[in-house]
Structure 1
Amino acid sequence: MSRARAVWQRVPAPVVDIVLVAVAAVDAWLIMWEHTRLGVALAALGCAALAFRRRFPLGVFLLTLPIALMQDVAVAVLVSLFTLAERSRDRRLLAGCVALSAIASSTPWPLAEVDRTMTVVFFVYGLATAAAPVLFGQLVQAQRDLARRLVEIEEAREHERALHAQAVLARERAQLAREMHDVVSHQVSLIAVRAGALQVATQDMDAKEAAGTIRSLSVTTLDELRTMVTLLRASGGHATELTPQPTLADLHKLVESSGTHVELSGELPPSVGTPAQRAVYRTVQESLTNVRKHAPGATARVELWQDGDDVGVTVTNTAPTRPSLPLPGSQQGLVGLRERADILRGTLDSGPTAEGGYRVRLRVPLSAD
């Protein structure tokens, strides 16, 4: 049933109208009692009016009503009643049209002596006949309304599911923000305080310098943690101002606070896009962090360069001069950098050097966005 309905719905409306006009005309010509000029003219007018039944359903019904005077059951009248019932919600109007159709079909034509008994019988028969397309049209209307209502309900449910997912995500972000603020920030703050105390108390210049570096890095880490907490609490909204992301202008400060002897060379044009600047900064940051963790005593060289429409950075470190301590790590730093480079349609290469060091090289388009 649904397949037949789908096929019928794919038929263009003008084709359906032409077919109905033709069927109604053949029906009127074959079953009409007398083919008088007036009768043929009225029948032709009523059949032709079916082409406009969608725009003027009531008017078309009134134009087809004379055909009911000239034959018992007229296709044109039934089609016009169905269209009117499908598009109208006025039950009184529909009841009146059914009564008019029954009266027209039970009235003898041409007018002659009336047999009351047969007229009543024909009237009841006409009521039943006219009520059928009206009930069917109302059924189609109710089915269409139900389908529309089901679509609205499904859209409302989808919207409710999206709101629920957003609420769950917001709660998870808020919980994560509290954990970061209460636990991680607290621990980093203690590190900064202890490093500051050691910097003041110690007389060893190397220890004093190391303590100062630890304190500086702890303060920077606290700033980044505050940014992340703010981002998590924002939950995707626009009401919270976020700390600006680092750019090339922050590279010198990053190198100076790295705790490693780093040589910075080269420069990039001012037209480098902001996403590319962040990618360069994060690459240098992750590379210098890896140098501190895995190559103690090594020196590093950060080289900014431009090659045509591409820009990039190369971070190279020498071999370590002393064994590295077993520090915890996620092993995801370089993976994240590669993903960032892929998003910007760039590349990231990394690997050991022939001298025992390590090299990380990032290339991204100049106008990466």
Structure 2
Amino acid sequence: MTVPRAWWARLPDPVIDAVVVAVAVVDVLLSLVDASPVEQAMAALACAALVVRRRFPLPVFLLTLPAIMQAIVVAPFAALYTLAARSRDRRLLVACVIMFALASEASWLLNDLTSDDRTWTLVNFFYALAAVAVPVLLGQLVQARRDLARRLVEIEEAREHERLLHSQAVLTRERAQLAREMHDVVSHQVSLIAIQAGALQVAATDPDFKEGACTIRSLSVDTLDELRHMVTLLRASGGRASELTPQPTLADLHRLVTTSGIDAELTGELPPGTSTTAQRAVYRTVQEALTNVRKHAPGATATVRLWHADDGAAFGVTVTNTPPTRPSLPLPGAQQGLIGLRERAELLGGTFESGATAEGGYEAILRIPAGTD
């Protein structure tokens, strides 16, 4: 469900920028009544820089610092808010707050002050720090709200996908149950009808009776063929892992990587003659690893590397992803997928390992000994 935004949030960015620049110009006109040409030029530059504050927030903030010493606050506050709303570097924001406060008291610090003036300058410095913290905290709040909204959309999409999978699983069970009932009950009864009709056809002496028994037997055989065809279709459409539904192999791996919804790259190759069972294990490992990247590392890139040892003793796949570029909310999970991959590897006599990398990403490695059937 999409929450409607406030009217001011629906305004185009150029309109908001124009309003901010207009307010900053009014602030300059009220503050610099008898200013020198140099001061007016610095104030005009600070106001003009606000037009590109969304693309270059840090340079724009630095350009507005000289205006602070002239008691101009709208342009520096707007630039600092934009920087706080777009930067995730907390140390940079703290440094900008300190620079803002120092610039606001620079005119006092450059003059010869008495002890009382120094005390009030220090007090005013801390007041300035408290005032500057307001746009920084507001910008960080807007950034956190934006990240939260993005994650809520991703969670809702994941829930919708889970609901779809659940409905498909229910439908699969119902189709499988229906197929079993048709095979075990209906087909059995129709087979008995065909057998009895055949026996009557052989034993009958009356031509009309014999023809009727032949018709019954023929209809029963045709019905039995139709039932068997329907059972085959039900089992195949139900997604049962049987001979009716082909399992994925290496031929399907490229499509899996390209349609995973993340920036992923497939490299390397497995040795020729790899068994179908081993190919299926590699496919399932890549599928689970890419799913985990999409769920737990938003914005990360992944590399899927197929490999085989130089001595031919083993082969496998390594899936590595970079750290996430966006913050993620903790999602509940029992890691059943990783447990299933480890059990699948053990059935083939291999190993499955996973864990964090030194760069902050994650890596999953499947190793299968050569000669596995």
TM-score normalised to structure 1 length: 0.61
Aligned counterparts of 1:34 and 1:120: Cα–Cα separation in 2: 28
Give the match for residue 10 of structure 2: 10
CA positional deviation for 1:109: 6.9
Match of 2:211 among 209, 212, 216: 209
Aligned counterparts of 2:194 and 2:110: Cα–Cα separation in 1: 110
CA positional deviation for 1:194: 0.6
CA positional deviation for 1:148: 1.3
CA positional deviation for 1:221: 0.3
CA positional deviation for 1:214: 0.9
Give the match for residue 100 of structure 1: 99
CA positional deviation for 1:128: 0.9
Give the match for residue 70 of structure 1: 70
Displaced runs of 4+ in structure 1, greater than 3 A? 236-241
Report 1:142-181 matches (<5 A): 142-181=144-183
Maintained 8 Å contact 2:175/2:238: no
Aligned counterparts of 2:191 and 2:163: Cα–Cα separation in 1: 40
Aligned counterparts of 2:51 and 2:238: Cα–Cα separation in 1: 55
Give the match for residue 19 of structure 1: 19
Task: Find out whether 1:79 has 2:81 as its counterpart.
Answer: no
Report 1:179-258 matches (<5 A): 179-235=181-237, 237=239, 240=244
Query: Aligned pair in 2 of structure 1 residues 16, 50: CA closer, same or farther (>3 Å)?
Result: same
CA positional deviation for 1:119: 2.0
CA positional deviation for 1:38: 1.0
Whose radius of gyration is greater, 1 or 2? Answer: 1
CA positional deviation for 1:100: 0.5
- 2:42 is matched by which residue type in structure 1? L
Give the match for residue 131 of structure 1: 133
Give the match for residue 39 of structure 2: 39
CA positional deviation for 1:212: 1.2
Maintained 8 Å contact 2:77/2:135: yes
Q: Deviations over 1:130-189 (max 9, x none)?
A: 110000111111111111111111111111111111111110111111111110000000
Aligned counterparts of 1:33 and 1:102: Cα–Cα separation in 2: 23
CA positional deviation for 1:74: 0.5
CA positional deviation for 1:37: 1.1
Aligned counterparts of 1:186 and 1:173: Cα–Cα separation in 2: 19
Maintained 8 Å contact 1:24/1:75: yes
Aligned counterparts of 2:34 and 2:171: Cα–Cα separation in 1: 78
Aligned length: 239
Query: Aligned pair in 2 of structure 1 residues 120, 75: CA closer, same or farther (>3 Å)?
Result: same
Aligned counterparts of 1:100 and 1:229: Cα–Cα separation in 2: 76
Aligned counterparts of 1:235 and 1:91: Cα–Cα separation in 2: 54
Aligned counterparts of 2:77 and 2:175: Cα–Cα separation in 1: 64
Q: Percent identity?
A: 66
CA positional deviation for 1:112: 2.7
Give the match for residue 54 of structure 1: 54
Query: Aligned pair in 2 of structure 1 residues 5, 167: CA closer, same or farther (>3 Å)?
Result: closer
Query: Aligned pair in 2 of structure 1 residues 13, 100: CA closer, same or farther (>3 Å)?
Result: same
Maintained 8 Å contact 1:107/1:119: no
- 2:91 is matched by which residue type in structure 1? R
Aligned counterparts of 1:74 and 1:183: Cα–Cα separation in 2: 84
Aligned counterparts of 1:56 and 1:236: Cα–Cα separation in 2: 55
Q: Deviations over 1:6-50 (max 9, x none)?
A: 210221111111111111111022124851111111110011110
Aligned counterparts of 2:162 and 2:4: Cα–Cα separation in 1: 35
Query: Aligned pair in 2 of structure 1 residues 109, 161: CA closer, same or farther (>3 Å)?
Result: same
Structure 1 residue runs without a partner (length 5+): 242-369
Maintained 8 Å contact 1:34/1:70: no
- 1:91 is matched by which residue type in structure 2? R
Corresponding residue SS for 1:193 = helix
- 2:68 is matched by which residue type in structure 1? A
Corresponding residue SS for 1:203 = coil
Give the match for residue 118 of structure 1: 120
- 2:202 is matched by which residue type in structure 1? V
Aligned counterparts of 1:228 and 1:34: Cα–Cα separation in 2: 92
Maintained 8 Å contact 2:85/2:142: yes
Aligned counterparts of 2:76 and 2:5: Cα–Cα separation in 1: 23
